[in-house]
Chains A and B, each alone.
Chain A
Amino acid sequence: MNAEIRWPRNDYSRVPFRLHHDEEIYALEMERIFRGPAWSYLCLEAEIPSPGDFRTTWVGDTPVVVSRAKDGTIHAFVNRCSHRGAMIVRELRGNAERHVCLYHRWCYSGSGELTGLPFRKGLKGEGGMPEDFDMKTVSPRKMKVDNCAGMLFGTFQPDQAEPLESYLGEFGTGIIRRFLNRPLRILGYSRQLIAGNWKLYAENLRDTYHASLLHEFFVTYGVDRATQKGGVKMDERHRHNMNHAFAATDTQEDAKAAYADTAARLDRMQLRDRKLLSFANEFPDGMNLAAPTFFPNGLLIQINNSLATRQIRPKGVGAHEVFQTVFGYADDDAAMTRHRLMSTNLVGPAGFVSMEDGEAIEVVQKATRSAAGAAAIVEMGGRGPLRDLAHRVTETPIRGFWSYWAELMGVEPAGAIR
């Protein structure tokens, strides 16, 4: 299979809408990115703390089990029985020494090796599997798993993949350690099904231009404005990025000048209950908003004291699930846990500063179905070379995303920037 893509420009400042609608491209992405050499975010180590613990997850459209073996090592394998293809583990989570497929009771170890099957030697000397059937050669496909400070990543192509450390770069490993600086407490999950291609969500996370425009709550109540100090950072390959802002680094006057349309509202509207916006600075860097995003499917997000990971789960070419794991720290007291949960009102499917993303992505998907020959404009922040910016009105990381996407897909234009 070979997708031919006509990029209008080699710096990805035009992105064909077709890439969000083409079934063939979707199938190639699953193969070359999610089952290719990229490192996908799996789950947090804190979700499988004890030997035998497991969770089911998705890497692209592939169902995967992440488990901790008796010796404490962490494994990930395709959740599909070698025999006839049934999903082996159907629960979301649990603790088990072995997993048994419901269909014909083929049996797998906690780390995913086929260890036995009923009637292998037949019954009363009749039937059974051929003598030379070798269980070892048919175990489900394994991922290589690596752990960065408690955030688990996996790849299906360990021979082609870079080591995780260099894949994430100093940028990635540094920011993960910043978030996961001590033992975690998992507070729970949320899920959202957005009727749009998964790459529209990946773009959304790399688009600091939209943040304070689409999410007017940010500006109106002063949680996050482009007038605050902040910017975007990328790794050296420009595939990951981080939008960030520092608390209380602008004035009401700066904001009014920048957001003329909403200026009137800035004075008029006040929350009756301000605790929703209260921020207890808990990181040495003073950031109140940080959203480091890791190609292709993971991110960490801090909005004030609400902390979470998100995993993008593509669900066919026209939909994706956003799976969010909300956490705090094991040493949080009851008041801090309550405050984090209160802050969670800001994020997630019903979040004051996130609900609009679902709608924006769905209306793009709806309106671009009929625009196969047209392309999106990605020029805010400039054309040409990809670089970090110390301001917040930019879409440059979107171009970074597409440059690495095109490299893995083998569809870079002539003279492509990276």
Chain B
Amino acid sequence: MAIDDNRLEDWVELFDEACDYKVVTRENVEQNLPNVLMWCDNKNMLRDRVESYRQVNLYNLHYDRHVLGPLRFVKQEGSAWTFEVSYSLFQTELEGASRLFSVGRYRVEARVEDGVGRLKSVSVVADTGLVPSLLATPI
């Protein structure tokens, strides 16, 4: 939701300070290859990425729209929850044309403390290995 509304700073706040966010492709995962498209291994790296998007990087002007589901619960260990959820991500250009930008699956580990959930780890495994145009705003 935060990404779709272009509230990237709010999206960063969903994460724990000690967190991991990674975008990989299914082609690499299936070959046991570690290559990443994007990798932040703490919250400061996420902050840096968002700040760079806002002030430094230039990319295709677009709206994002995530469609999620179904969600599959994997495990709970104390306050840590792990689940997987499929996504479709559509991009819409300023002139209104939409396209399917990426489809794949999140594996998410979240920690719930005092009724507040924080993301510990988000691993995006994109089936769409052939990135259309470029990948700027996170999936």
Residues of A within 8 A of B (CB): 92-93, 186-195, 214, 216-217, 220, 265, 269, 271-273, 276, 321, 326, 337, 341-342, 344-345, 348-350, 352, 355-359, 362
Contacts and interface: CB of A to CB of B under 8 A. Distances in A.
B74 interface: no
Nearest to A341: B36
Given A214-B58, A344-B39, A350-B23, A188 B131 contact: no
A358 B59 CA distance: 8
Contact of B35 (A190, A192, A216, A265): A190
Contacts of B47: 272
A348 B37 contact: yes
B100 to A, nearest CB: 13
Interface in B95-139: 129-136
A358 B37 CA distance: 15
Q: Interface extent on B, as a size class?
A: 35 or more
B37 A349 contact: yes
A189 B129 contact: yes
Interface of B: 23, 25, 27-28, 31, 33-42, 44-45, 47-49, 51-52, 55-60, 129-136
A216 B34 contact: no
Contacts of B37: 190, 348-350
A191 B52 contact: no
A189 B28 contact: yes
A192 B131 contact: yes
A214 B134 CA distance: 15
Given A269-B56, A355-B135, A359-B60, A341 B34 contact: yes
Contacts of A321: 130
Contacts of B40: 345
A188 B56 contact: no
B35 A349 contact: no
20 contacts: A93-B31, A186-B33, A187-B35, A188-B33, A188-B34, A189-B129, A190-B37, A190-B129, A191-B25, A191-B129, A191-B131, A192-B130, A265-B56, A269-B56, A345-B40, A349-B135, A356-B59, A356-B134, A359-B58, A362-B133
Contacts of A345: 36, 38-40
